[in-house]
Chain A
Amino acid sequence: MAEPHASKPLERGVTRRQFLAGTAAVAGGWVLLQGGWSRARQFLGPDGLDTGAARAAGYTVKHTLCFQCGASCGLTALVREGAPPSEENFLLFGNQHPDHPQRGFCGRGATAVYTWNSPLRIRKPLKRVGERGEGRFEEIGWDQALDEIAAKLKALVDVEGARSVAFTAHDLREYPQWLAWPLGAANTVNQPSTCNTSGISARRWMMGAAYQHHAAVDPDYDHARYVVFPGRSLHAPIGALHRLAKARQQGARAVFLNPAMPEAAFADAEWIPILPGTDAAFLLAVCHTLIHEQRYDAEFVARHTNLPFLLKADDKPLTEADREAGGEVGRFFLYDTASGGLAAHTTEGVAPGLTHRGTVRLADGSSAEVTTAFNRLVEHLAEYTPEYAEGITQVPAATLVRVARELHTRQGVVEDTWYNARNGNDTDAVMAIMTVNALLGNFDQPGGLCFRPGARVPATMSRAADGQVSTLLGHSFRMDDTRSVDRMKYPETNGTFDAVLQAILEGEPYPIKALFVLGTTVLQRDPNTRRVEAALRKLDLIVTNEILAQEITDWSDYVLPAEMFLERRRLSGIPWTLTAAVGWQEAVTRPPPGVEARSDVWIMLEILRRAYPERAALVGYNETLSDHDTFKREFLDKLEDLQLEGLAKSWELDADELRQELATQGFKVLQGQRYGQVPYVRPFATPSGRFEVYAFHPVLRGYREHGFATWFPPPAYTLPAQPDEFYLVSGKNPITASGTAGLAYPARFLSDRAVWLHPADAERLGLSEGDPIEVTGLDIDWTARAAVRVTPRVKQGVAFIYSFSGGYRQRRVREDDRFRFLSEGLNPHWFAKAHLEPVTGAAANNASVRIRKVSSAVG
């Protein structure tokens, strides 16, 4: 028996206090250890987790990364060695190592144990026996399921080709490739358009592809002084919030610009209620104020942005190709105040002028008027006065001016967004955010907007631009067709599932007839539910890998029980940190008794093998790996070993030592945060190497008339105009708002499924707290009922609902008293018409609705 209060620090100097601080562990913990805390306490000695004591008592320490949402925060588990999988045999809590890049977990992490053995868990392969959407299934064996799916897939592909098969995922986006790519199917189209596409596009256009990802650029929360959050609730990752909480103890301030007050704003933060779809107007007026009051960083703007670059009258940049026959189109010009002449932007030692205007002679002998992009920006911003913005945003001009001044005086930043509900003008909104940041010039320094170095975890399978696919196991083959339907329609997208729907419904550009869904809640994810349903109804085959009974499973021909994150091993980079860090997801437990869950990769490869064994062989898969345990040992583990060895080589580390460190503490920081790199040492990744406040790429491609962020009214819905008409906006909370955590039992009490209305709006409609209302779309003919919540946490004129919290219609939810609450409330996508931004393919999920009082919440 271990010493109950052993004091030796076994987790690399983690003190008990450090270990305990923030452990929502307990959330899973006590329940999970039979005998309660009296059994668990012996492992938490005065100096932290006493691994030796735990081991002596038959427990193993395992680390993982939480997948209850996409934030990947660190978790640690004590697992009883050799015991059967049971809630009683593992203890789950936050990884409390003080150096963990994403410490602790939140309400969502605390729901992991509820998910693992949830009554909604998919336990065996299911085959549909009712109509699509009805949710009537029979349980079948794995062999039958895989054989039938493989036969249907083969019959389809042999006739229609592999392009008739589409795949969609979310956080599991690398898994469908194991079937799709050997099959030659280009259409793996995931969730981004409803999440991050607008931000990705804006960052790529302005900072370059290397910094386009939403986790590649983040405020330096540890040293934050002032952060404005347009649209973002910052409820994930909890590690970022934890760091911001520490900075707030040192005086940092957070400002949330949002139609509804996020929970994070309770923490003595400022909430500025703003009309949906008007963020760009607010932020451009901030730019106007920064320039008008000379509060911008002129040195940064001149040296590191393209605002000194010269533009012609046609709003295109002056290039060497304009001035010389055979000149480069990627060489731009600016005015050098030192020499009094023009200089190519690549010329060293020039003193860029921001306000030059003049005439230049072109290669064809003609002359052209040119002016700096800065001059053009000043002209562009002229109309965006605080008063003008007030008329659009309904934010008082004085508040806007104060925020602009505080951003300047406190050396703040504007957060560059991850997910928030969209209105159809969102790429411009993120461009406006980045324009404010460019004017502030607060990049890559303490408290500024900083850049994450990549962890360089080798991909298990990768595809080059020419279609050549290679796996870490040494196999390779070529895909003839790699262009997905969304890229054909939206050249700048990183994933627009609506293009798949169009291919299903209209056969354009060609018909798609089968869909594989891996761990994504399509009916809670994509706007215009009726359109999604019509597409699902038309498909010849729908196969879904899931852990829980989601609404999409009711529409599937086959539902295959997939492993939850607690049951699988994986090596991955840790996002949302400004360090280069890697995390080790160990399998904490096997699936609960009766749950025949399988690895998503195994499912993909087994279907492939049964349909086309020769294609499975392309990636080294054959019948000898059909046993799931053998597959994990001989295939997945080997891949992970190779990943780890590649990672170690990339960072010049000893692979065995790295493996040991990952096993011991669950993570490895490969490179600490380094300030002063971008753009001071390394340039931005744009063609010009500058921060392109004037986005050249979309202008030169003809996507936009000019390159500046612009506000225009949200095109995604009819604007509310009558007293009973409202914007319908959704947003996340820190407890249940993810596709997985939203189905956990605590959501019943810790979230709500009501429609939030401002007290003034409720009074006008004669509504009181809890009253039933009927909600009808202004653009979509969909009517539903819900209860009203009267709260000043929502802006007047706006109806707000939590996303992933209500309006679930799957049969299992309706039939289980404990989970029937999930069928209350609304799914915002019922009312959204699926407006897509041209070029980027970013989707809007906000809508407008009419609300009236009714006598019952049940229609």
Chain B
Amino acid sequence: MFSNWRINFLLVFFILGGFLVIGRLFFWQVLSFDELTAMAEGQHWISFEIPAQRGEILASDGSPLASNEEAFLVFASLPDIKDDYNELAAKLAPILEPENVATMASLIKERLSRQDLVWVPLKHKVSRQGKSQIEGLKLSGIGFEEEQSRSYPEGSSSAQLLGFVGNDVNGHEKGYFGLEGYYDLELKGRPGMLQREKDAAGKPILVGEIKKEKERQGRTLVTTIDRTVQFIINEKLKEGLARYGAVSGTVVVMEPKTGAILGMASLPNYDPGKFFAYDKSLYSNPAVALSYEPGSTFKVLVMSAALNEEVVKPETRCDKCTGPRTISNYTLKTWNEKYFPNSTMIEVIQHSDNVGMVFVGERLGAEKMYSYLQKFDLGQPTGIDLEDEASPKLRPRNEWKLIDLATASFGQGIALTPIQMIRVVVAIANGGKLMKPYLVKQVISEGEKTEIQPKIEREVLKPTTTSIMTEMMVNAVDNGESKWAKPKGYRIAGKTGTAQIPVAGHYDEEKTIASFVGFAPADDPQFVMLVLLREPTSSPWGAETAAPLWFDIAKEIFTYYGIQPG
């Protein structure tokens, strides 16, 4: 009896002990499996990251707009330094930061004095010449590590279009704004990993296993940008700003059949290679981010809508164009206070007659006007492949009053972006198709090429409407206020615009946004172009500033494309 009790006690003890052991084993081998495996791998493997090269951004002819250059990280191995820190800083600072020697010298001294480190970085992205100069000094303890720096061979001419490459919060390279920002994931690729077995001292085992995960180089983007067109518009815009005393300006050139952007330039701009030296307000691209009231250029949309709905015809006469119109206590006038009673719709566009456009707006009605604004995608982004695109909201239909319909008919009280405005005119130039504007036409990834096809969003106008509208715009150029500047022998369809700038609830009396939008040759459009000048001082009118600049650029494009007069 006594012996049985002892045996039973031992039996229970061993069973419980067994369960405890099994439980503990289960904890380590099943529950903690992942954690322990990771710890074991961490002790057993040494890893090196193989950086991926950032993809290039090419112009349509294959020449680089953004590329990579070899650069170096200069570092100091503190135990190997034999020179005096002050002396070392005095030698290195003028090479590493020639524009700010004193600050660089103190930074070097501060980093060299760190007691808790053995390796300190001194400067990233040092050029090859800089490296050679430092090597010439024969300093012990100073080393180099290869890295890449982004280069922009065409300088600042496409700054806002391309964006730039900076560092994110973790110090990794990241594209910001423009194409660099929009296509950052595609451009940066994926770094590879090299893992080698290491011994207890942490040194690689020569005959040990090696695991290699290949890096994936960044994808190369082939854009629709014609770099000659880009160069022309940038140079001409520079001249235009100086000639007309404008604060800023934007030029966009599009291919009407595809919606491809051929050129896009804005001034003032910045050097994307030294973006940090410029004001942040210059980073975003006004061509896609600037919200402005278009003024008279918007008349082509309203007139097209009215023609498309057959509420007016080119020969329809305005019976309310004898003088200023008063709507909801507001008096609406023409830009030069000249009035043309019984003028036809052709003449309304030719004279850029605000009162005539109010007549057109009334014939169209608020419902149809609003539906056309929606058809043209106003109030929402165009979907262009640029990071900084913004879109002013379209006021809800139920908030529209009589005066809103009247002012919107001549392009005031409604805001859009330059890319939205040019897209409207592209639809008139190509027979009524609303195109999605795009910049990248091909993506190259490790030899594989992916083509990006043009996209028609929808048909917004009938071809007969666009033919009539084109003729009205040709007439406006041939007989309008800017006819003196038009290149001889070419049929150009266009429209000037002078919009007042809203400031704190009212319109500024002095400041305007002058613009001209058009396409050529009118019978077989090769390009659509928008020129926009902010606050020109030589004259506030689009016909005297933006229009001559448009014609000036067009002349060069005609020569470049070999477009002959006639």
The answer to whether A and B interact is no
Chain B residues close to A by CB (< 8 Å) = none
Chain A residues close to B by CB (< 8 Å) = none
